[in-house]
Structure 1
Amino acid sequence: MGFLKGILVRLVCTALAFWLATLLIPGITLATDSPGEAVTTLVLVAAIFGLVNAVLQPIIKTVGCGLYLVTLGLIALVVNALLFLLTGWIAEQLELPFLLDGFWPAAVLGALLVGVVTWLLGLVLDRD
């Protein structure tokens, strides 16, 4: 039961972080007026983001570990932004009303905000 609870807590934290990103960052849009569709979209986008990160990030870190060392980890901002863009592209292909407009305003700031908010919420909510 603890494993499932952990996954659900992370999913809810990520969905809340995406919701905050749509409110605070101008290039990230949730193009729906229906509250039910908005919640469904945010949960689905959070799940997509989690899958993209779980599958691709370890591969990227392994292949590009030298680049991470040379840049003292700053390349992680670019990698996270690209994974954020990939999440937006997958959401678009699935016809979800989640739109990203541009690399710098939406992807970089969005990935940064989602990462920080998810981390903070995880600290508060993921206690047994």
Structure 2
Amino acid sequence: MMNFLVKTLANAGALAVAIWLLDKITLTGDTGEAAVALIIVALIFGLVNVVVKPVVKILTFPLFILTLGLITLVVNALMLLLTSWVAEKLDVGFHVDGFWTAVFGGLIISVVSWALNVVLPDDD
């Protein structure tokens, strides 16, 4: 349970940094609504990464080898775009505008999430 909470908080922090740095990743609402929306988006993002990302990685394994792992940027961008799409369907005020924004957002989220997971406590 603690591990889930830490990962969700790391995702929320990483998403917040991407929203702050990139104009085309938006989170709408006043401060309270935005905070709740950010946690919901972090949960959606975590769910997408747990359920969908492994399937995509298996299906694109030859591309991982061929591109020496650079396809990871595309996969992360697609996961962020899928998160945006699900958030819009659930009427959460989160939107990623465009593929390249998703690529840069995915890169930012990966780096910040990694750094936060190093710093935040883990029950393992």
Alignment TM class, shorter chain as reference: over 0.9
Correspondence 1:6 to 2:8: no
Moved over 3 A (4+): none
Following superposition of structure 1 onto structure 2, how do residues 70-89 of structure 1 map, counting pairs within 5 Å?
Answer: 70-89=66-85
State the TM-score, normalized to the length of structure 2.
0.94
CA distance in 1, matches of 2:81, 2:121: 27
Q: 1:94 aligns with which of 90, 96, 103?
A: 90
> How many residues matched?
123
Q: Quote how far apart the aligned CAs of 1:65 are.
A: 1.1
State how 1:11-90 maps to structure 2 within 5 Å: 11-32=8-29, 34-90=30-86
* TM-score (ref. length: structure 1): 0.91
Helix, strand or coil for the counterpart of 2:26?
Answer: strand
RMSD value over aligned CA atoms?
1.0
Q: Unpaired runs of 5+ in structure 2?
A: none
2:7 partner letter:
R
Structure 1 Cα separation of the partners of residues 121 and 91 of structure 2: 32
Identity among equivalent pairs (%): 48
Query: Which ranges in structure 1 are unaligned for 5 or more consecutive residues?
Result: none
